[in-house]
Structure 1
Amino acid sequence: MEKFQDIYQRAAQRKGGTAMLEQLLHAPLATEQLKCLSDDAWLEEFTRKIFQSGFYWSVINNKWAGFREVFWDFSVEKLLMMPPDMLEQKATDERIVRNFKKVQTIPHNTYMIHDIAAEHGSFSQFIANWPTGDIIGLWAYLKKHGARLGGNTGPYALRALGKDTFLLSRDVENYLRAHKIIDGGLQTKKSLTAAQAFFNELQQQSGLSLQALSLIIAYSVGDNRVGIQTTPA
């Protein structure tokens, strides 16, 4: 296994130097900051990532104001009271991307967030308190209890709202395969466990967040050019 310093130096060289690389790294939110996020924000971001999956992100983002109007700013409290026939009506609204199967995830994930909040004080507290040394465990939880939050969808939503997580982007996956850290299916328990162990080891060597490490690995390989990130890391 490569040492962190070797990966870091290669990433810095590819990005035009240490100063340039450091400008491209962004820190996740602190635990207390995460706890302050509203549960509505999580529902909104889960929904955004679900709709972005397999679609041009720019199209979804351009229609997002319409999504917020149709679904009451993703208010968990309001959506809990929405009758099923109203969901069907909303799914045909021209202000959103009319994909009924994806629209159906909204009430499912609303109830998931509500149930977890009832047990943990808030959904944000549940997310904030989950140990990053087992971030794949949180991925698995969201996949099991949520709707369409498996694969990269759940992890990308976590990253978007500031939870420290690595991402299995194409560049990161290629690195892990090239160095024989994983083989076989990317989302198998064996591969995910190996990836987590690798990132945990790098974290011990560097003291950096999983997010920073994920970015550094992505920048150390692949087709991304100096100062430009071409794929999510």
Structure 2
Amino acid sequence: MKVFEDIYQRAAQRKGSGAALKAKLTKPLEPQALRALSDDQWLEEFTRKVFQSGFYWAVVDNKWDGFREVFWQFSIEKLLMMSPEMYEQRSQDERIIRNAKKVKSIADNCHMIFEVQQQHGRFSEFVANWPEDNIVGLWLYLKKHGARLGGNTGPYALRVLGKDTFLLSKDVETVLRAEAVIDGGLQSQKSLHAAQQFFNEMRDYSGLSLQELSQIVSMSVGENVR
């Protein structure tokens, strides 16, 4: 597959060698390890990514112990019992970043996870079983049924917790447009499915994960030299 070979060689050259490039790649979790995650962890990571969106990540990280205290370590069982008034009160707690709309997303995403649990037993099982060759379908599910998980927010949370996914970073977008994979809006369904097909074809050819391929594509352009 010429397009993959060209991208790989460009990334390897920018990093110094093929070995240097491979040393920088990270891999997703195996399905068994993904299933071992607690559903509380998913809610916590969704919340972290929601608050990091449009904000300095370091500030969010510095406040995170406070978030965990205020929201009971993101215990879904406990948070389901909180009333809207309780969420509103806690949105003003000085231990967290006080943003009422983003705090409300905790309740909404908690309920999304709970609804999945009713159908699939556990949210981690649901995510682990989702086919990677339609990972954008999971992105769209999170956007539709969750709160503030559209764009890159949901996909970044999936990546952090180990689900195999590519990411539509600026560098990846640059390559997708240069290769004429997409020509419209980045987050349109047409573009998402075209990007999925592009990564699926490279995965079938190379045997690499979507995560590894996404990193290779990203490292083939932009300012991330060496």
Once the two structures are TM-superposed, the CA of residue 179 in structure 1 deviates from its matched residue by 1.3
In the other structure, the counterpart of 1:191 is 191
Range with greater deviation from structure 2 (38-47 or 112-121):
112-121
- What 5-or-longer segments of structure 2 have no aligned partner? none
State the AA in 2 paired with 1:41. Answer: Q
Q: How does 1:191-230 map to 2 (within 5 A)?
A: 191-226=191-226
Once the two structures are TM-superposed, the CA of residue 2 in structure 1 deviates from its matched residue by 4.2
Q: Deviations over 1:166-219 (max 9, x none)?
A: 000000001101111101100001111110000000001100000000000000
Alignment pair present for 1:112 and 2:112: yes
Q: How many Å separate the matches in 1 of 2:207 and 2:118?
A: 34
In the other structure, the counterpart of 1:170 is 170
Instruction: Decide whether aligned partners of structure 1 residues 148 and 7 sit closer, same or farther in structure 2, where only a CA change above 3 A counts.
Output: same
Task: Find the residue that maps to 1:126 and give its secondary structure.
Answer: helix
State the AA in 1 paired with 2:102. Answer: K
Q: How does 1:90-101 map to 2 (within 5 A)?
A: 90-101=90-101
In the other structure, the counterpart of 1:231 is none
Q: Deviations over 1:49-90 (max 9, x none)?
A: 000000011110111011001100000000001122111110
Q: How many Å separate the matches in 2 of 1:18 and 1:2?
A: 17
In the other structure, the counterpart of 1:18 is 18
Instruction: Give structure 1 regions of 4+ aligned residues with deviation exceeding 6 angstroms.
Output: none
Task: Find the residue that maps to 1:104 and give its secondary structure.
Answer: helix
Alignment pair present for 1:47 and 2:47: yes
Instruction: Decide whether aligned partners of structure 1 residues 217 and 197 sit closer, same or farther in structure 2, where only a CA change above 3 A counts.
Output: same
Q: CA RMSD in A?
A: 0.9
Q: How many Å separate the matches in 1 of 2:83 and 2:201?
A: 48
In the other structure, the counterpart of 2:146 is 146
Task: Find the residue that maps to 2:28 and give its secondary structure.
Answer: coil
- What 5-or-longer segments of structure 1 have no aligned partner? 227-233
Once the two structures are TM-superposed, the CA of residue 122 in structure 1 deviates from its matched residue by 0.1
TM-score by length of 2: 0.98
Q: Deviations over 1:17-52 (max 9, x none)?
A: 112111110110011111110000000000000000
Q: How many Å separate the matches in 2 of 1:170 and 1:3?
A: 19
Q: Deviations over 1:106-143 (max 9, x none)?
A: 01100110110121010000000000000000000000
Q: How many Å separate the matches in 2 of 1:121 and 1:2?
A: 43
In the other structure, the counterpart of 1:179 is 179
Alignment pair present for 1:70 and 2:70: yes
Instruction: Decide whether aligned partners of structure 1 residues 101 and 2 sit closer, same or farther in structure 2, where only a CA change above 3 A counts.
Output: farther
How many pairs does the alignment contain? 226
In the other structure, the counterpart of 1:121 is 121
Once the two structures are TM-superposed, the CA of residue 162 in structure 1 deviates from its matched residue by 0.2
Percent of aligned positions that are identical: 66
Q: How many Å separate the matches in 1 of 2:106 and 2:2?
A: 42
Once the two structures are TM-superposed, the CA of residue 3 in structure 1 deviates from its matched residue by 2.7
Alignment pair present for 1:159 and 2:159: yes
In the other structure, the counterpart of 2:4 is 4
State the AA in 1 paired with 2:67. Answer: F
Q: How many Å separate the matches in 1 of 2:130 and 2:86?
A: 35
In the other structure, the counterpart of 2:38 is 38
In the other structure, the counterpart of 2:86 is 86
Q: How many Å separate the matches in 1 of 2:202 and 2:19?
A: 21
In the other structure, the counterpart of 1:229 is none
